[in-house]
Amino acid sequence: MDKLSSTTLLPETFSGARADITEQLTIVWGQMKEPLIVPLLKIAVFLCLTMSVMLFIERVYMGLVITFVKLLGRKPEKRYKWEPLKDDLELGNSAYPMVLIQIPMYNEKEVYQLSIGAACGLSWPSDRIIVQVLDDSTDPIIKNMVEMECQRWASKGINIKYEIRDNRNGYKAGALKQGLKHSYVKDCDFVAIFDADFQPEPDFLWRTIPFLVHNSELALIQARWKFVNADECMMTRMQEMSLDYHFTVEQEVGSSTYAFFGFNGTAGVWRLAAIDEAGGWKDRTTVEDMDLAVRASLKGWKFLYLGALKVKNELPSTFKAYRYQQHRWSCGPANLFRKMLFEIIRNKKVSTWKKVHVIYSFFFIRKIVAHLVTFIFYCVVLPATVLVPEVQIPKWGAIYIPSIITILNAVGTPRSLHLLVFWILFENVMSLHRTKATFIGLLEVGRVNEWVVTEKLGDALKFKSARKAFRHPRFRIGERIHLLELMTGVYLFFCGCFDVAFGKNHYFIYLFAQAIAFFIMGFGYIGTFVPSSA
């Protein structure tokens, strides 16, 4: 039997049809390119460069401010009156303010003992503190465990209250609001809030309450977060770099210049009078903490950030948990900006300069532009210029400005500077979800009010590595395959191949590296990276 020829397997009619389709697509692309694609891409490049410059100026400004703060030694104790609270022989313990500790939790099986134990271990006159556990758990076994833990501490003489609701309306904001309605709260002056994975040191109140007692204009004292599992894997190291910049620079600059910053929702102490005047907790967005902070600021209250005071907590250690968290943290601020923009503009209690700071710097640049420019520019527009060589991006916009912004962002975590390239790729991938969430918040559609509690592991972290060695993860399509990342990776890979074959921009190394990052996270493997301390 004669060998089958290629023409037998692939008839000439089919080959000809395929060539015709390719030729037709080429003609259509050529006809659309000049009158439509090129002008649109030029507009996109202009807008992205404008946003990049805005972000660059913001980062440089904050860098200069934080440098002066450090050089001038503008410590909180120098800007606000602070002196330790002293015993009063006549008044006794009544000389100390009454403090409420709120611990909101939801099915926190792994960490409830840690958080309750840390709160009950706070050093403060025992008759001047109330620990309030706000348990919204839906698992009856976990609810029983939390209640038993509260009873155990109560038997030791701790004034601890176990409070539950018959619904989860308003999620965390609803729980905190309901907690303040109990009769015993009316005797309290201040409230400290700790999420279920936060473990304050015993002297936390001694270092924060004096600021509120001696400075009547202060409404909030915010402490810094300290991550107990930062070295668990590559993903947690990347999170640490991003959050360290937030706490080292953004919060410090806001506190030092405008006495305003976003409340982080935990590890902070509020003046109850300020919460009442601001209108209390509201559940209209998924960032009830930021909502309260903005409203209190518009009433004229000031905030103070204590970077030297650190509270231990846990970073999300799975990609799924981190994605949910980032959706909430990106969607919520954008939605709050939509709801409060005109309220901020019409406000007459704060200066115009502070309103400009809140609208432009706090909301627009950090919560919207930072997400949009990272994904749209570096993952969509810049690769597109490879396919359309008629559109060029200047070197200052494609290389110099991004490099300076990256270096300024990384200064908060010097120990991870060797991971800078990985951090850039990781942040670009996550910007996909942040951009999507930002649009959802601005347009108020879809998952705008979705609230998924971040999974916490607590003591289980100590045994997680050992379990991984003996157990292979189950492959579940719905949990491990992420189509948005994979499609973006394919697009970047195609642009990289085109750049190698025909391009003049020489972005192919970046494009291939970014495509690989999207593929890795598209298959859900980022959380399994080995610890980067190696």
Q: Would you name the residues annotated as active-site residues?
A: 136, 289
Q: Please, what's the b/e burial string for 202-227 (b: 16 or more CB within 10 A of its CB; e: otherwise)?
A: eebbebbbbbbbebeebbbbbbbbbb
User: Is 439:305 a contact under the CB 8 Å cutoff?
Assistant: no
User: Is 196:300 a contact under the CB 8 Å cutoff?
Assistant: no
The token pair that represents 468 in the structure block: 């991984």
d(Cα 498, Cα 494) in Å, to the nearest integer? 6
> Residues 327, 320, 523, 378: is their CA dihedral positive or negative?
positive
The token pair that represents 227 in the structure block: 């991550």
User: 239, 198, 173: which is closest to 111 by C-alpha?
Assistant: 198
User: 208, 230, 495: which is closest to 378 by C-alpha?
Assistant: 495
Report CA 426 to chain centroid distance, whole Å.
Answer: 14
Amino acid at 193: I
Length in residues, the chain: 534
The number of CA neighbours under 13 Å toward the Cβ of 200 is: 29
d(Cα 307, Cα 228) in Å, to the nearest integer? 17
d(Cα 260, Cα 299) in Å, to the nearest integer? 12
Quickly list H helices, 165-203: 171-179
User: Is 267:103 a contact under the CB 8 Å cutoff?
Assistant: no
CB-based contacts of 454, cutoff 8 Å, min separation 6:
316, 321, 324, 325
d(Cα 96, Cα 86) in Å, to the nearest integer? 8
Tell me, what DSSP letter sits at residue 357? Answer: I
Give strand ranges (E) for 25-150.
99-105, 129-135
Quickly list H helices, 121-170: 140-154
User: Is 84:206 a contact under the CB 8 Å cutoff?
Assistant: yes
How many Cβ atoms from other residues are within 10 Å of residue 271's Cβ?
23
Report CA 138 to chain centroid distance, whole Å.
Answer: 26
d(Cα 442, Cα 332) in Å, to the nearest integer? 9
Tell me, what DSSP letter sits at residue 132? Answer: E
Quickly list H helices, 76-199: 76-79, 112-120, 140-154, 171-179
